[in-house]
A and B are shown apart, each in its own frame.
Chain A
Amino acid sequence: RKEVEQDPGPFNVPEGATVAFNCTYSNSASQSFFWYRQDCRKEPKLLMSVYSSGNEDGRFTAQLNRASQYISLLIRDSKLSDSATYLCVVKSGAGSYQLTFGKGTKLSVIP
């Protein structure tokens, strides 16, 4: 089983739609979780951390289910500018040096 798995997509959605991305991770000792956004040919940028209780940042909501080792990202009212690849990222252990990246899910928001 791969360490961090995501549906590669692409997800093609109309403007205004709600879209959800899912991610599973294999290391039950993982302690920190993130969603990164990567535009084409650009560097990944931190979108939001994911907390156990779930957290929201504007139109974006992240959820974590430790029992199922599952992370999700919900985008409401999609904008054209949301078109990008979304990377699920996991860090194992408080002192861990390394982030493990999923391969990403590509989102295209269509006018």
Chain B
Amino acid sequence: DADVTQTPRNRITKTGKRIMLECSQTKGHDRMYWYRQDPGLGLRLIYYSFDVKDINKGEISDGYSVSRQAQAKFSLSLESAIPNQTALYFCATSDLTRNYGYTFGSGTRLTVV
């Protein structure tokens, strides 16, 4: 099994719908992140969490919310999806005690029509 698992892998949804993207990890890392990637714009941070009680906004949090249900689970919600939220979404984890960078999930390709 993958260290960082994202579900669903692909999703098509309609404008105005609420959608949740889920992320779970088996690495035991405290820190979890949500990024979106758009062509030509690179990876942009949406939200991050240092532990279950610590949630922080990233550079593009508007229109998104998150929930850290447990150390191993971090979900991203789009309350009312809009077409410009069509993107590839990645969850990532990291461990402060090790300087090995991030481990990414396989991504969720979201299309809002």
Contact = CB atoms under 8 A, between A and B. Distances in A.
Interface of A: 32, 34, 36, 41-46, 49, 87, 89, 91, 95, 97-99, 101-104
A32 B42 contact: no
Interface stretch (B14-22, B65-73, B99-107): B99-107
Given A49-B101, A98-B48, A44 B96 contact: no
Given A46-B101, A98-B45, A103 B106 contact: no
Contacts of A101: 42-43
A34 B101 contact: yes
A87 B56 CA distance: 24
Q: Which of A42, A43, A87, A91 has the most CB of B within 10 A?
A: A43
A41 B45 contact: no
